[in-house]
Structure 1
Amino acid sequence: MTPHELNLNIQDFNEKQRALNEEKIVLTYLGAYWQRINKFPSLNKVLGKEPEKKKMTDEEMFKQVKRLNALFGGTEEVK
């Protein structure tokens, strides 16, 4: 191993250690933060795995409008 290769290995090791230390600090910070919040977020939200929202078709949207109209006491029939 040449001195240059040794230096590259040392730099790589130092970068990995720095990233590992930063990860530990972030995890510690988040653990302390989550102990103090009132409403805990869902695990899917924290991991960024929110379900995809399905788009409504025109017919589904019309049915929803009818349902909401009836729910809120609407007297006019939606056509």
Structure 2
Amino acid sequence: MNTATTTDNNAVRKHAVRKELFVDGYEVVIGIEIHCQLNTESKIFSSAPTDFGHEPNTQASIVDLGLPGVLPVLNAGVV
């Protein structure tokens, strides 16, 4: 008997969701937010600079602020 497999199976059973706890009409959607530092002159979806050492919120464009009607454009240097 493989102890690791037995332990993994027990963990799955312990955290499994019982069917009676499901709510009809709802779908679970899980998102992952990832933060990373890019080696580019500007941010990934705006032309705002990425310099360090400035006061907070001084390097934000209208795209970064998420203002209504503003659409981001992908920085080609990131791809």
TM-score (norm 2): 0.30
Which structure dedicates a bigger proportion of its chain to helix? 1
**With structure 1 as the length reference, what TM-score do the two structures score?**
0.30
Higher RCO (C-alpha under 8 Å, 6+ residues apart): 2
Q: Whose Rg is larger?
A: 1
